[in-house]
Amino acid sequence: MSKKTKEQTCWDIVSAILSHSVRTLLYGPPGTGKTHAAARLGLNSGQRVFSVTLTEETPAAEMRGHYILKDGKYAWQDGPAVAAWRCGGRLVVNEIQRGGPDVHALLLAITDDPAIAEIDLPSGEKVKPADGFACVATMNGEPKELLDPALLDRFCVSIAIDKVHPDAVKQLPADIQLAAERTALIDNEERRISVRAWYAFAQLRKDLTQVHGQEQAQQLAAKAVFNTRAQDALDALAIAKSEVG
């Protein structure tokens, strides 16, 4: 009789493929560990990481590179994308959906087939990606709804993150872990509570307990961190506690 195969989570898949994929997109709710995974998991020996978080105002030059004034002279300085190309590093692009048209056009070139990829820099230099270069992009939300189709097509490896990374959960107090896992993945944005918020709550509760006692500290911390959602968070804690205990 064959043994039952363990069901693979999104993080099992990420851990297995990240060091083998040239272009990877991790998407899902905020605060689940996508950025942590993109910057730390599956790196080749000695591989450097270059990270950038995009906004609507991020210029393409910030990623590509630009001239800076150094010792009274203008000198070229690589941006994270070109720097990662040169050394075969990993380029991590957070909030990829937020980039403007110029940034997305540059990313199309950066994520082109390594065999033909090439960029002409304003300095007149031609650069190509070194062996080992990889790009890992992260985003909140659904790629087909938010990402430019041409850019999405570059990321054939696209993984939906539907579970909080275990390392993030383990850093929380035991009585918070289950509630944090559940509330971080709620589809409704108004009801969702990020793991970062639970971190803040846990730390504030710990500090306040020394002055006010545990029950009052928990109430104060919840109101300070979750505001109008304080009772919802405390209810989530109570439900999780009843199920575990």
Summarised one tens digit per residue, pLDDT across range 209-225 is 999 989 999 999 999 99
Per residue in 125-177, pLDDT tens? Answer: 999 999 999 999 999 989 999 999 999 999 999 999 999 998 888 989 999 99
Is residue 1 one of the residues assigned to a domain?
Answer: no
Is residue 42 one of the residues assigned to a domain?
Answer: yes
- Could you count the other beta carbons within 10 Å of the beta carbon of residue 48? 14
- For residue 102, pLDDT over 50 is answered with yes
What pLDDT shows up at residue 97?
96
Q: Is there a single domain that holds both residue 126 and residue 176? A: no
Where a domain ends, among 118, 143, 160? 160
Domain range enclosing 228: 166-244
Whether 119 and 167 have beta carbons less than 8 Å apart is answered as no
With H, G, I as helix, E, B as strand and everything else as coil, classify residue 92.
strand
- Could you count the other beta carbons within 10 Å of the beta carbon of residue 157? 16
Q: Is there a single domain that holds both residue 154 and residue 85? A: yes
Q: Is there a single domain that holds both residue 91 and residue 14? A: yes
Q: Is there a single domain that holds both residue 86 and residue 106? A: yes
Predicted confidence band of residue 30 (pLDDT cuts 50, 70, 90): confident
Q: How far apart are CA 146 and CA 142, in angstroms?
A: 6
Q: How far apart are CA 153 and CA 108, in angstroms?
A: 10
